[in-house]
Amino acid sequence: QSVLTQPPSASGTPGQRVTISCSGSSSNIGSNYVYWYQQLPGTAPKLLIYRNNQRPSGVPDRFSGSKSGTSASLAISGLRSEDEADYYCAAWDDSRVVFGGGTKLTVL
Amino acid sequence: QLQLQESGPGLVKPSETLSLTCTVSGGSISSSSYYWGWIRQPPGKGLEWIGSIYYSGSTYYNPSLKSRVTISVDTSKNQFSLKLSSVTAADTAVYYCARQIGPYTIFGVVITLDAFDIWGQGTMVTVSS
């Protein structure tokens, strides 16, 4: 049971906009930054979003993050086949880093 | 550019100690702007943070693993290491090392541990007799 709650799966068609939610509590998302990681099949995770809504250099602006209260969301616009991956949210929670259980995104 | 590489035994017997090393190349582990962390992922499951260490030796551990974990740093070799004692089959996982941004101050708030911005490729460790 993960501290942060994500839907196990999401899907969309090419060109579509999809969002992935991440629900937490006042001790994690409610009072700390949220991060998003993308894990392509068979590879290590890659930082996608940091400090709620900041993109590292090289990450397309199709990816965006937002936070409201104790929940956060990752939005992917102009969905592409190469976006098919697992997505994880993360946050600091009372002296530990916690991750969501991950969302498997399928591009139909 | 900076790269991280995990190394260590791929098979560990139950009740023994798992030992892994992460070698940092293309940059210094002694940077004041980063921590260095370990994260694991059991087969088919999600990510779990194990702990992080600063070049000075300051550590943060996941409370759920703290009694069995030791993370150390060797700045002369540009390496940091993980030891996990009394392993069971539940410790079977891909183990990743990663660079973690922090500490820094933003808007007057001190952020100690921020994002994992560079990851190693991971190494699979199986606990089995």
DSSP letters along B7-71, please?
ES-SEE-TTS-EEEEEEEESS-TT-TTEEEEEEEE-TTS--EEEEEEETTS-EEE-TTTTTTEEE
What's the pLDDT at B91? 98
Q: What is the dihedral of CA B8, B13, B16, B19, to 10 degrees?
A: 10
Q: Please list every residue in chain A whose beta carbon sits closer than 8 Å to the beta carbon of residue B39.
A: 45
pLDDT at A22: 98
| Amino acid identity for residue B76 in this structure | S
Cβ A95–B46 below 8 Å, yes or no? no
pLDDT (tens digit, 9 = 90+) per residue, B14-45? Answer: 999 999 999 999 999 999 999 999 999 999 99
State whether residue B114 sits within 8 Å of chain A by CB: yes
In the DSSP assignment, the letter for residue A50 is: B
Q: Give the span between the Cα atoms of B111 and A53, in whole angstroms.
A: 16
Q: Is the pLDDT of residue B122 over 90?
A: yes
Q: Is B36 on the interface with A (CB under 8 A)?
A: no
Number of residues written out for chain A: 108
Q: What angle do CA B122, B20, B10 make, to 5 degrees?
A: 65
Give the Cα separation of A66 and A51 in Å (integer).
9
Q: What is the pLDDT of residue B102?
A: 87
Residue numbers in chain A where pLDDT is lower than 50: none
pLDDT digits (tens, 9 = 90+) for B58-83: 999 999 999 999 999 999 999 999 99
Assess whether pLDDT exceeds 90 at residue B109.
no
Residue B106's pLDDT is what?
84
